[in-house]
Amino acid sequence: MSIEKIYSFLTYPKNHEKAADIIEGIHIKPDKGKLSKMLSEVFDSARSRRDVPITFVTDDQINPTREQLLAFFAKPRLASALPLARSLQAATPGTAGMGLFFVCLGSDEGKPGKRSVLSRFAADEGVVASKNGGALSVEFVEQVFLKNAHTYKAATYRHEASKNDAWKGVATDRQLNHGSKAIADYWIVDFLCSELTTTAAEGTRRLALAMKEASRSSKDPQVRGEIVAAARLAGNLPANAMTIDQFCDQFAMSQGAKEAVKAAVKPARLITESFRFDADEFTRHVPYKQVELDNGATLSAPTDKFEEVFHPKKVGDAHAYSTQGAIVDEKLRSGR
């Protein structure tokens, strides 16, 4: 694949003092230099675990970022790439800092239409300050780019002229830090006006059912205990994007517990599919924790409140539980 068009812009966080200024942009002609070569690597990078499928959110079949992208596909030039840079700047929080934004266009051999990659690289403040108000130049862009060439956010889209496509793309975040495993919301939600292809409800339900099945089918009490503990704490998780694999890692599950949960996911390829965790949806599918004792007793309470309702105490090798409350119902049941 060869890149045919490269446009670059220097963008600031939305509340930065320079955010109100005219965004500087430059058309960079693809060549055999280091900048073009490394951008080509981004354009052609192989799929990784950090890549997630995304879909533009629609309002009567209109999405502002998609409209800007289609305008660029139709007439690829600096002027048609600029609205995308403006949208990114308007969505960028202060914590993200300054960035170099690239809008690239090219084609893949043997495939119809064109492919565009939008990417953002962090810009070193010291290097930017050295520009001293001068116009954006290829040399400056290369200087900024090469300091952070392997840490970036990107989104890829394909389009064929006259077709109602480019609704779906692939996003990635290789600027992850502080142990985060989720693509920054400002990149997917605020800038691209998109959502993960797997809905929060679908992905969370899949996770909850896999944990229930793993807890039920495992014969290892330690594995069952780890899964139950994770389910109890899951209600406190924020609505971040994650995979089932990453959920297990977040609770430091043992290899045995992870394998039990993953084995319950059908088909297995869904283990690495990203979704936005929904605590309420999770609780709907894993509402109760149940403990069975060898004396025939069964204890049951809401998963997130089990330890508040039943107070455990170790008595030798046995466990004693105590609780107190008013009786509101009483039933005879034929089975558990």
Same domain for 19 and 165?
A: yes
Q: pLDDT tens digit string along 25-39?
A: 999 999 888 888 888
Same domain for 240 and 117?
A: no
Cα–Cα distance, 140 to 159 (Å, whole number): 31
Same domain for 170 and 218?
A: no
Percent of the chain, pLDDT > 70? 87
Say what the pTM is: 0.66
Same domain for 23 and 169?
A: yes
Number of domains in the chain: 3
| 254: three-class secondary structure by DSSP | coil
Give the domain range for residue 253: 200-286
Secondary-structure percent of the chain, ordered helix, strand, coil, rounded to 5: 40, 25, 40
Same domain for 31 and 155?
A: yes
Same domain for 183 and 148?
A: yes
Same domain for 250 and 116?
A: no
Same domain for 206 and 181?
A: no
| 80: three-class secondary structure by DSSP | helix
73 versus 127: which is more confidently predicted? 73
Task: Confirm if 115 and 166 have CB atoms less than 8 A apart.
Answer: no
Same domain for 55 and 115?
A: yes
Same domain for 245 and 332?
A: no
Cα–Cα distance, 231 to 211 (Å, whole number): 8
The runs of H, that is alpha helices, within the chain are 34-43, 64-74, 78-91, 125-129, 138-147, 185, 200-217, 221-233, 244-250, 255-263, 279-285, 306-309
Last residue of one domain, picked from the residues 196, 214, 239? 196
Same domain for 192 and 216?
A: no
Same domain for 186 and 243?
A: no
Q: pLDDT tens digit string along 227-283?
A: 988 988 888 888 888 899 999 999 999 999 999 999 999 888 788 888 889 988 998
Q: Is the predicted pLDDT of residue 196 greater than 90, yes or no?
A: no
